[in-house]
Amino acid sequence: MIPLSQAAPSRAQIMPPSKVNLAPRGATTTMCDKNPVATASNFLLYNNLWGQDSDPSGKQCTVLDYSSRGVISWHTQWTWNQAPDAVKSYANAVLNIEPIQLSAIKGLPTTWHWNYTGQGLYGDVAYDAFFSKQATKEKPHDYEVMVWLASFNGAKPIGQQVQLAQPLTIGGVVFDLWHGRGEPGTNPWEVFSFVARTETRQFSADLNEFFKFLTKTQGVPANYFLQTVGAGTEPFTGSNAVFTVSPYTMSLNK
């Protein structure tokens, strides 16, 4: 079976939205189309059904439940039963920032509480970030960095596990590091994936610690730009799934 990230060449890239919904504090917004986006506080919430064509009978809707200053709560409901080797979507909340050099980031604190229910879940729960030598929010990307808090039914990141001199612990969670490269013409950038050894449904940390680890030990240039960073879920297959995020926070210190 194709590893998750090999089947998902462009899961988190920012695409032109089909519509924009403004969501004031306390309001709810429901999105069921392929790529709508809801603006909420300092976040952009995407439904992002980029792989739905592999399962025309499937469906997914993402709901913005609440947003306040720097805090967002949301959930997504989905059923995908066909094409088990294909990722169907990446519903995710992206921090609305301009590109910034990695060396200029003082901190990227985040908290994420989430829950998942459903039958036959196959997929992951992960942060996703993109780096580039260019100060642009969209392609080209040079690096993708994921932080996996959970995987279901054997989903694995792209590439191979990197043997570290000692375990990497961030936010009280032990992570393994994977490294690979996507397919030419689709996602040719390098991919680093930090994978939690245990399922972590409540996480609080500074994401910049992952970035600094890469610049110090894995050759990622510190003068490259953080283009985008968000958090969400990638499903392959499952039914009656409900992924709930409450609350989620992230802020950029520079």
Q: Any idea which of 18-27, 64-73, 91-100, 185-194 has the lowest mean pLDDT?
A: 18-27
**pLDDT score for 12:** 43
Q: Residue 1 — pLDDT band, cuts 50, 70, 90? A: very low
Q: How much is the pLDDT for 28?
A: 78
Catalytically annotated residues: 144, 234
Type of residue at 29: T
**CATH code, 198:** 2.60.120.180
Per-residue pLDDT band at 27 (split at 50, 70, 90): low
Mean pLDDT score of the chain, rounded to an integer? Answer: 90
Q: What is the pTM of this model?
A: 0.89
pLDDT at 16 over 90: no
Flag whether pLDDT at 9 surpasses 60.
no
What distance in Å separates the CA atoms of residue 58 and residue 209, rounded to the nearest whole number?
37
Give the pair of three-digit tokens for residue 38: 């809801």
pLDDT bin (cut points 50, 70, 90) of residue 45 is very high
pLDDT at 202 over 90: yes
The total domain count for the chain is 1
Question: What pLDDT is attached to residue 182?
Answer: 78
SS3 per residue for the chain: CCCCHHHCCCCCCCCCCCCEEECCCCCCEEECCCCCEEEECCEEEECCCCCHHHCCCCEEEEEEEEEECCEEEEEEEEEECCCCCCCCCCEEEEECCCCEEHHHCCECEEEEEEEEEEEEEEEEEEEEEEEECCCCCCCCCCEEEEEEEEEECCCCCCCEEECCCCCEEECCEEEEEEEEECCCCCCCCEEEEEEECCCCCEEEEECHHHHHHHHHHCCCCCCCEEEEEEEEEEEEEEEEEEEEEEEEEECCEC
pLDDT of 5 strictly over 70 = no
- pLDDT at residue 188 in the model: 86
117-171 per-position pLDDT tens digit? 999 999 999 999 999 999 999 888 999 999 999 999 999 999 999 999 999 999 9
When pLDDT is averaged across residues 193-221 and rounded to a whole number, the result is 99
Residue 179's domain comprises 5-250
Confidence at residue 99, expressed as pLDDT on a 0 to 100 scale: 98
Q: Name beta bridge partners: 123.
A: 152, 235
User: Does 228 or 41 have the greater pLDDT score?
Assistant: 228
Report residue 155 CA to chain centroid gap: 15
69-111 pLDDT, tens digit each: 899 999 999 999 999 989 999 999 999 999 999 999 999 999 9
Alpha-carbon separation of residue 238 from 44, 77, 166, 246 (angstroms): 26, 11, 36, 22
